[in-house]
Every structure is written in C-alpha cells, then in structure tokens.
Amino acid sequence: MVDRLKEKNIIITGASSGIGEALAVACAKIGANIVLAARSQEKLEALKSSLSSYSVKIITVPTDVTSESQCKNLVATANRELGSIDVLINNAGISMRAAFDEVETKVLREIMDVNLWGATYCSQAAIPYLLETKGSLVAVSSVTGFKGLPGRSGYAASKFAMNGLFESIRMEYSQRGLHTLIACPGFTASNIRLNARKADGTSQADTPGDESKMDTAESVALDILQAIRDRKDFMLTNKQGKAIYWMNKFFPKFVERKIHKVIAAEPNSPIKK
C-alpha cells in the first residue's frame, strides 16, 4: 500500500524503539533507504543488523536531538551518503507523569528540549533538501497535542507547540512543494510510556495503562507511512483519539471530566480524585 515510498530516502529520529523502530522496519520492507537516528549507537547497530536481509541502504547516525549541531550533522550525513532527502520523520520524544505542582522544572525543560527543539533543529536543517525533492516533513505529535491531559502538562505543552510550529511551516512552504504532515497517534503501546519521566526526572519504568487495548507501534507506523504517501496534512488514528478530538469540539467540559476520572483511577496516579 505504500510502494510509492520505495527507493525514497527517509530519516527517522527516535529510531531505536517504539514507533521509530516500527517505522524503520516498515520502510525497509517497502524498499526505502533509511537513516536511523537515536542516542544509543548500540541499539541502532542492532536494528540495522536485524534489517540486513532487505536490499536497502541503512545508515546509522547516533544523535541527541537536543543538540543543534548533532541534528545538523544527522541531516548533512543523510544527504551526503544518500544524495538527497525525501522524508524527515521527527519521531524522537519523551513523556512524563507527574502533578504540575510537584514536577521539577528540569523535567519540563527536558521534554521541551527533546520534543519541540529536537524537531525544530532537525526540520530547519532538512527543509532546504526537502524543498529540492518536494519531499515530506513529518511531526509525530499526539492526541495530547490538541487536548491536554492531567499529569502530562509538560508533554502536552510540547505537543501543542509542535502542532503550532508545523502548521506554520506547512503554510509557509506549501506553495514551494513541501508536504508537511502532523501525525497524531492515539494511545500506543511503546517504550515512551515506560520511559516517561516522574516528578524527579527518573523513568517510571512501567505503564499505568492496559497496553493490550492500545494501538501497536507497527499499526501506527503503517498509518504514518500511508499518510506520507497520500500527502495528508493531518493524521489521527485510534477510536479513542478520534472520539476525544471530535467530542472536545462540542463538549469540552464533558471530555475533561471523563479524562480526569480515567487518569485519576490509574495505579499510583499523581492526580487526586
């Protein structure tokens, strides 16, 4: 279904786990060349090795997206090694789970640095190359990018900011051939939930939700690739996410009460009932 992406050159940040890893696998299967970026070189090399049976070019570039220079190096390396860039998927991200009055500001800053500034650095470096190919710029945002969640204030702030940034980029460059996609997956079973920051900045190391009822990273990855293929402006998956999106337009207070009730009932919830 996404064969139009065959032989395209695609950069994926946050590629070592979760949706990023699933994107890498899906891209390799359809014959796209991929540049994999994440902080852990060991994990990147392991992923590259697992994809060695596919006849595609796979480049690994260890990258901390909070570093502007490393983001510039990622994009420059991709263009140098592959000759062009067709797609940049800004997938790197971290979440949090803590009450706002208890969370340390360093945690909020870290989330902004990764989610917003990482996407900013990579996108600014890549846009000149994407304009040459009339390629696609992708922000992997979230349902939380249009409806905040209690206990996720910093994460919601970063995703709201991402949505505003990429909407502006879309309007600024659409007449020059750049496709900009804001992808908003619903609740997804992935490592981002396991690595979510607690109030003191440590990882929560478990998930309070029933992941068997969430979307899989693999299904989300295919949805993103299909949205890139179709050059969509916005992608929203998951019945729960769609319900939140539409009901929030007409019944915002009802939605807020329901969300508060669900999150307050989570095991060890930081939100008081």
Domain boundaries, the chain: 3-241
Q: Strand, coil or helix: what is 250?
A: helix
Radius of gyration of the chain (CA): 18
> Which residues on adjacent β-strands are paired with residue 189?
216
User: How far is it, in rounded angstroms, from Cα 115 to Cα 112?
Assistant: 5
Q: What per-residue confidence (pLDDT) applies to 61?
A: 98
Can you give the pTM of this predicted structure?
Answer: 0.92
Going through the chain in order, the beta strands assigned E by DSSP cover 9-13, 33-38, 58-62, 87-90, 136-140, 179-184, 188-189, 215-216, 234-236
Supply the residues annotated as catalytic: 155
H/E stretch holding 120: helix 118-133
CA torsion angle 243 118 121 144 (round to 10): 20
Q: What per-residue confidence (pLDDT) applies to 207?
A: 59
Q: What per-residue confidence (pLDDT) applies to 215?
A: 81
Q: What per-residue confidence (pLDDT) applies to 245?
A: 85
User: How far is it, in rounded angstroms, from Cα 262 to Cα 273?
Assistant: 10
Can you list the alpha helix ranges (DSSP code H) found in 6-67?
18-30, 41-50
Q: What per-residue confidence (pLDDT) applies to 223?
A: 94
User: How far is it, in rounded angstroms, from Cα 223 to Cα 236?
Assistant: 9
CATH number of 3-241: 3.40.50.720
Amino acid identity of residue 81, one-letter, is: E
Q: Which residues of the chain have pLDDT under 70?
A: 1-2, 188-194, 204-213, 273
Interhelix angle for 118-133 vs 68-82, to 10°? 30
Exposure string over 250-262, b if 16+ CB within 10 A, otherwise e? eeeeebeeebbee
Q: What per-residue confidence (pLDDT) applies to 205?
A: 59
